[in-house]
Amino acid sequence: MFLFQLPDDVLYLILSYLDYKSLCRLSQVCKRSHHFTVRDGVWRRIAKDFINTESISKMKISQNWSRGVCRKDILLKWKINLLPWIQLDDDVLYLSQAADIGAYHLRGAEGGRFQHNRVTVFSGHQEDVCRFTLTDTHLVSAGGDGKIIIHDRKSDYSVEYYGHNQEVNCIDCKGELIISGSRDRTAKIWALRPNQLGKCLHTVPTYDRVWSVAISPSLCTFVTGTACCENFAPLRIWDTERCHLVSCLGSEFRRGAGVLDIVYESPFQLLTCGYDTFIRYWDLRVCSRKCVMEWEEPHDSALYCIKTDKNHMIASGSSYYGVVRLWDKRQTRCLQMFQLTSSTSSPVYSLCFNATHLYAALASALYSLDFRTSGDLWDF
């Protein structure tokens, strides 16, 4: 084809006017057209309109996410009901079970095959791990025993200290800061420097149980999400340097509308969810008193956890029957719903995902949804 004798920059400009269906058809014309149209640069603009995708190979799978085409698997089961928490770091899945945190390898194509033998175990708590968070070098855990434990991910070294008088319900870590929140109605800032591990920099009285915390990517502020039982401003932003109250998010929350999870997308944009059944999207550049968008769980269930691809997709975990929902920010209704269990009702306590899989932790099992199913909707 004479078309593909043109310079690359001219071809990129011409192909930028095509939609994804036209590009798919063009890729089937000849080998030269196929060779050029499968480049990521050709699809970069179009990829921005799809959920949970980074490249052309993932765009095929993105359609499976949008249409709910997947295979459900039970990766692990245990006999006693727990409050598990999971985190995903490349090809390693971290799962808390009672007082321990195990690391499991995900191998095989696209890191999907689950290895049942734990490669590492992080321990030290006398009661259940409530939550934990990861950095490049550390795993920081918070427990029902009031302890905070800083584990070195590459060695057996750890530092533990009693951070609160009661259970530590939530924790976040970025840069050289750790933020913890507790049932004792305080949030605390800790140093994550080698010579100051365990040093409390500030204590913030919240006058209510703290269910969730999140540090801004800018490291200048952090957010606390409280139970909304004693103080009816459950979302508050604090300055990390002086711990002054910067602002309160939202207004007129009803009693008990506790915030269970907070996720930052940028220093100015964050998502929250909780007992009042809403996912709320806040943009601090616009207004802190009102969210810019909100989505309601259609079955009036509390939302325990959320994750985002930082583009268009949100995944949420509901409080009954292991219901996971996918949301598209450009739509008002739920995009897809997956009920992981029908025999017993359990909240989705935690979830995470990559381009091909979604993992969800329920009271007695760890589930996966594999979106690499056969019958791809496109043929390149």
Contact 69, 371 (CB under 8 A): yes
Count of CB atoms situated within 10 Å of the CB of 202: 15
SS3 11: helix
- CA distances 277 to 9, 108, 259, 260, Å, are 48, 37, 10, 11
Beta bridge mates, 274: 259
Q: Give the single-character DSSP code of 12.
A: H
Q: Given 1.20.1280, 1.10.357, 1.10.3470, 1.10.10, which CATH number is that of 2-47? A: 1.20.1280
8's tokens: 């690359």
Tell me what the mean pLDDT of segment 224-232 comes to: 92
Asked whether the predicted pLDDT for residue 30 surpasses 50, the reply is: yes
Tell me which residue of 298, 287, 295, 286 sits closest to 314, measured CA to CA: 295
Contact 351, 340 (CB under 8 A): no
Which DSSP string corresponds to 34-83?
Answer: HHHHTSHHHHHHHHTTSSS-SSHHHHHHHHHHHHT--EEEEEEE-SS---
Which DSSP string corresponds to 147-211?
Answer: EEEEEETTSS-EEEEE--SS-EEEEEEETTEEEEEETTSEEEEEE-STTTTT-EEEEEE-SS-EE
As a whole number of angstroms, the distance between CA 340 and CA 77 comes to: 13
Per-residue pLDDT tens digits for 283-295: 999 888 899 999 9
Asked whether the predicted pLDDT for residue 380 surpasses 60, the reply is: no
By CB neighbour count within 10 A (0-12 exposed, 13-18 middle, 19+ buried), where does 65 fall? buried
Q: 56-67 and 40-47 helices cross at what angle (nearest 10)?
A: 30
Per-residue pLDDT tens digits for 236-276: 999 999 989 999 999 888 999 999 999 999 999 999 999 99
Per-residue pLDDT tens digits for 33-42: 777 777 777 7
Output b/e per residue, 31-58; b: 16+ Cβ within 10 A. Answer: eebeebbeeeebbeebbeebbbbbebeb
Sign of CA dihedral 339, 345, 351, 357: negative
What is the pLDDT of the chain when averaged over all its residues? 89
**HSE, side-chain direction, 13 A CA sphere, residue 38:** 15
Q: Do 2-47 and 67-370 come out as alike in CATH topology?
A: no
Q: How many residues does the chain have?
A: 380
Lowest mean per-residue pLDDT among 135-149, 334-348, 365-379: 365-379
Angle at 213 (CA atoms; ends 364, 229), nearest 5 degrees: 85
Which DSSP string corresponds to 20-42?
Answer: HHHHHHHHTT-HHHHHHHTSHHH
Contact 24, 2 (CB under 8 A): no
Position 112 scores a pLDDT of 58
Q: Which helix (H) or strand (E) holds 327?
A: strand 323-328
Residue 315 has φ and ψ, to the nearest 5°, of: -115, 135
Position 107 scores a pLDDT of 76
CA 158 to chain centre: 25
Fold type of domain 67-370: Methylamine Dehydrogenase; Chain H (2.130.10)
Contact 319, 349 (CB under 8 A): no
Per-residue pLDDT tens digits for 111-159: 557 788 899 999 999 999 999 999 999 999 999 999 999 999 989 899 9
As a whole number of angstroms, the distance between CA 22 and CA 228 comes to: 52
Position 344 scores a pLDDT of 84
As a whole number of angstroms, the distance between CA 17 and CA 43 comes to: 11
As a whole number of angstroms, the distance between CA 114 and CA 272 comes to: 30
Position 377 scores a pLDDT of 40
pLDDT-based confidence at 88, cuts 50/70/90? very high
Q: What is the residue whose two structure tokens read 């921005």? A: 48
pTM to 2 decimal places: 0.89
Asked whether the predicted pLDDT for residue 379 surpasses 60, the reply is: no
Q: Provide the residue ranges of all domains of the chain, joining segments of one domain with +.
A: 2-47, 67-370
